[in-house]
Structure 1
Amino acid sequence: MRLRVDPLPLPELAFADVVLVVDVIRATTTAACFLEAGAEALYLTSSLETARAFKDQDVVLAGEEGGLRPPGFDLGNSPREALEAPVGGRTVVMSTTNGTRAAHLAAKTAKHVLLASLFNAHAAARKALELATEEVAILCAGKEGRVGLDDLYTAGVLAEYLLLMREMSPEDGARIALTLKRAYPDPLEPLSLSAAAQALKGVGLEADVPFCAQVAQSSAVPILSGRVGEALIFKRAGKAS
């Protein structure tokens, strides 16, 4: 079975099997937290305008623009906020700058799309192996078209755990991610050095970074289960065997 890491969501990419989408600071961490808080479903939209179209329904709007909660949204993109949010049994509509767009790219061709982060890394890796028949791809969201240290490090954590569980053939991107992971014993260091973390510091949300650096704290794995209009529907995957 192949193990692949794509450092950026380039439009020409295609995926044969299972994709783990990573936007560790913060979208995929926040998505897992919403499910931990009891959300029934997540609708991921590729733009704020599409998300706002759901406003007249009984949904919670969550997202970010420049790191901050957009006007008219109920919540931002903070995983700390998401974990405590009153979303039990409700649908959360999410739109973020990088992560939700990467998920939409993966959904064009992949058989299965999962949202992964350090927070749910082990559960996401186990679910990917349960579903995969030929390839597990890890797609990094990056930051505004540039490779993100935080996402590539997280891909290395996922890749290392996948290889512990299954004999796989890592492609060059996976080998690069593994090398990066092994260069930083403490996840907080590469995450703190990343451009995403520096941007959060600029808007006073740097406390989200240590939260995102926690490894294997959640069993909640968002998995693509359908669509409604332009939104991708993610629900909590069943327990991996």
Structure 2
Amino acid sequence: MKIHTLLKKEEIDTVQMNEEKIAVVFDVLMATSVIASCFHYDAKQVIPVLDATEALQEARKYPPDEVVLIGEHNGITIEGFFDPLPSVFKKQVSGKTVILSTTNGTVAIRNSSNAKKLYVASLLNGEAVSKHIARNIHQETIIVVCSGSSNTFCLEDFYGAGYFIAQFVKEFGEEKVELTDSSLAAKLFYENRAEDSYEILRQSRVGMNLQKYHYDEDLLFVSQKGVLPLILILEEKRLISIKKEKVANKREE
């Protein structure tokens, strides 16, 4: 059973994302962490879209009081949308359909949607996703997708990928897993800095930008590993649904 890691969304080959592949998408700062947070704050469902135009078209399908728009483009909050930061939207999403548009993460999700299954993962729920896949996988290849940022590598996504891979190998059995060089590098990087998730996020380019605007609370929140027992799956190439599994002694209020 093989695990391969893509270092940025531009490496996604949609032809190769097929019924023999399971995709696990990371955009730690912030899209996949935002999605996990939305469900943590009791959102009904999350719809990832490619841009603001599609988000507005999708929103018209719902009564105005049943939908919340969250999004950014090139790091700037889209006009009329909530900022994609948990501290900003956490009181807005309960019971609502969230439509999310981001420059990188939601695009990576949509471009990976031809896979047999697509899981949305972050540090927050990476442990739950890894255990779920390890218990349910057959002969598929796992493609771990680091969203990156506008065709560039992102440290925090690579760290998240390594976290997922390390957890998966531990659960599935090291002797049963073949890691490509990119996956092995991610795993080794994570294992070398396993206790430093907050520092990794702070030192990343996106993390430094968030600190500049005093969003340290959000950095601290999304740097927590394995605190949300959420299995997030893309359904019908359109919306993200949730399965819950227990993660012992871990829950962030």
Q: Same-fold call, TM > 0.5? A: yes
What are structure 1's unaligned runs of at least 5 residues?
Answer: none
User: Superposition RMSD on alpha carbons, in Å?
Assistant: 1.9
| Whole-angstrom CA distance in 2 between matches of 1:106 and 1:166 | 24
- 8 Å CA contact 2:12–2:112 kept in 1: the answer is no
- 2:197 is aligned to 187
Q: Provide, for residues 113-140 of structure 1, a one-character-per-residue CA deviation record: whole Å limited to 9, x for no partner.
A: 1110000111111222244222222100
| Whole-angstrom CA distance in 2 between matches of 1:165 and 1:78 | 31
| Whole-angstrom CA distance in 2 between matches of 1:128 and 1:202 | 37
SS of equivalent residue, structure 2 residue 158? helix
| Whole-angstrom CA distance in 1 between matches of 2:7 and 2:153 | 6
Structure 1 position 65, deviation (Å) = 2.7
Q: Which stretch of the first structure deviates more once superposed, 145-154 or 31-40?
A: 31-40
State the TM-score, normalized to the length of structure 2: 0.86
- 8 Å CA contact 1:126–1:240 kept in 2: the answer is no
- Number of aligned pairs? 234
1:12 pairs with 2:2: no
| Whole-angstrom CA distance in 1 between matches of 2:191 and 2:216 | 24
Q: Which stretch of the first structure deviates more once superposed, 175-184 or 7-16?
A: 7-16
- 2:250 is aligned to none
Structure 1 position 193, deviation (Å) = 1.3
SS of equivalent residue, structure 2 residue 69? strand
Structure 1 position 222, deviation (Å) = 1.8
- 2:79 is aligned to 71
SS of equivalent residue, structure 2 residue 25? strand
Map 1:37-186 to 2 at 5 A: 37-56=41-60, 57-58=62-63, 59-73=67-81, 75-82=82-89, 84-107=90-113, 109-133=114-138, 134-167=140-173, 168-184=177-193, 185-186=195-196
| Whole-angstrom CA distance in 2 between matches of 1:224 and 1:130 | 18
What are structure 2's unaligned runs of at least 5 residues?
Answer: 248-253
Structure 1 position 240, deviation (Å) = 8.1
| Whole-angstrom CA distance in 1 between matches of 2:43 and 2:35 | 10
| Whole-angstrom CA distance in 1 between matches of 2:91 and 2:100 | 14
| Whole-angstrom CA distance in 2 between matches of 1:239 and 1:220 | 7
| Runs (4+) off by over 3 Å | 238-241
AA in 1 matched with 2:232: P
Q: Which stretch of the first structure deviates more once superposed, 51-60 or 112-121?
A: 51-60
State the TM-score, normalized to the length of structure 1: 0.90
